[in-house]
Amino acid sequence: MKLFDVYPLFPIEPVKGEGSWLWDKEGNKYLDLYGGHAVISIGHGHPHYLEKLKDQLDKISFYSNSVQNSMQEQLAEKLGRISGYPNHQLFLCNSGAEANENALKLASFVTGKKKVIAFKKSFHGRTSGAVAATDNPKIVAPFNAGHEIEFLPLNDEAAFNQAITKDIAAVIIEGIQGVGGIQLPNESFLQLLSKKCKEVGALLILDEVQSGYGRTGKFFAHQFSGIMPDLITTAKGMGNGFPVGGVLIAPDIKPWSGMLGTTFGGNYLACAASIAVLEVIEKENLMKNAQSLGNYWIEKLKGFSPITQVRGRGLIIGFDLTEPFSGLRKDLLFKHKIFTGEAKPNTVRLLPSLALKKDEADILLQALSIEINQLA
């Protein structure tokens, strides 16, 4: 059987990882500043993470969700405390799209409505409901899960004030737009969303799948604005590569049996991985590291003249290039052995491990100097 060919893949097969580094089959060493779309939060092959997973593998507990699993409670307690949401409730699932799907469904249950406000250039995942709230006509299927979505320009207060009515079930917004090119919602815009949602009885969903888990220097990107959303979705960095997702649900939303469900969500290995990630983030002070290295990079990147704009917070950064440098990402990979990401048409995305070191951050800056001097 052949694989269904839907991903553009680099012809590189990693066989070993350590910290921010990867090795391929031929023994080439790569600096990973992308972490498989922000997935690698605490670094490749972290010993504490591997130990927790191996410890779990040695047990017999691979059962899915019909018996008690106290690891889920441990994870909920830790996540609540570290994220600053001790009173929210946690629903565990397997991916970011699934988390958003469940959040949209919850909003519909709670409000009895189906209209949703989303934002231009948003990306919320590829399942039917999540993709319907994604502003990319190329990947939206001709039907969706039944929500009616209106897309508004990010940070346009006038457009939002007009669109937010009593018919709206939910407003869904990324903490920082990732796939859309690292676009930041203004703090005052998020405050407006929070206030208006309360006024009309809509739920505010903060998609922190890419921007969350300490990447910005706070646990969730929206926490810079001081708001408390009804629903927060998370995945990617949560498991450092192990598939896991979650929805943090405000205390006033009451569950009932069968309201949501899952076979694999919150399985033992996913919990072991997620607990290990939180322990490492806390013990190694990775949020602080993300913030200071992010500030350092942003400052330095602004000094390169062919870079027209640098956007981001902590270690979620995008920088725009002038046209002649559009092949830069491939040069970084094939000439300098540095993985980065992209957002079309000309943004390079940096989403490294939160344990990145300063000398590793400098390797990118040196490579950029070489490439930019050659072309200038």
Which residues form the interface with ligand PLP (CB under 6 A)?
Answer: 37, 95-97, 100, 123-125, 174, 178-179, 207, 209-210, 235
- Residue 246 in contact with residue 232, Cβ under 8 Å? no
Question: Whole-number minimum distance, CB 351 to ligand PLP, in Å?
Answer: 10
Instruction: Give the β-pairing of 341-343 and 347-350.
Output: antiparallel
Question: Whole-number minimum distance, CB 179 to ligand PLP, in Å?
Answer: 5
Residue corresponding to tokens 């949020």: 287
Closer Cβ to ligand PLP, 104 or 310, answer by number? 104
Closer Cβ to ligand PLP, 134 or 289, answer by number? 134
Closer Cβ to ligand PLP, 221 or 276, answer by number? 221
Nearest residue to 355 via CA among 278, 280, 296, 304:
280
Question: Whole-number minimum distance, CB 38 to ligand PLP, in Å?
Answer: 7
Q: Using CB positions, name the residue nearest to ligand PLP.
A: 96
Question: Whole-number minimum distance, CB 23 to ligand PLP, in Å?
Answer: 25
Closer Cβ to ligand PLP, 132 or 368, answer by number? 132
DSSP code at position 217: S
Closer Cβ to ligand PLP, 135 or 207, answer by number? 207
Question: Whole-number minimum distance, CB 2 to ligand PLP, in Å?
Answer: 22
Closer Cβ to ligand PLP, 125 or 217, answer by number? 125
Question: Whole-number minimum distance, CB 116 to ligand PLP, in Å?
Answer: 15
- Residue 122 in contact with residue 259, Cβ under 8 Å? no
| Burial state string for 218-237 with b = 16 or more CB within 10 A and e = fewer than 16 | bbbbbbbbebbbbbbbbbbb
Distance CA(360)–CA(363), nearest Å, equals 5
Residue corresponding to tokens 């569950």: 255
Distance CA(269)–CA(54), nearest Å, equals 9
- Residue 348 in contact with residue 342, Cβ under 8 Å? yes
> 316 phi and psi, to 5 degrees?
-130, 100
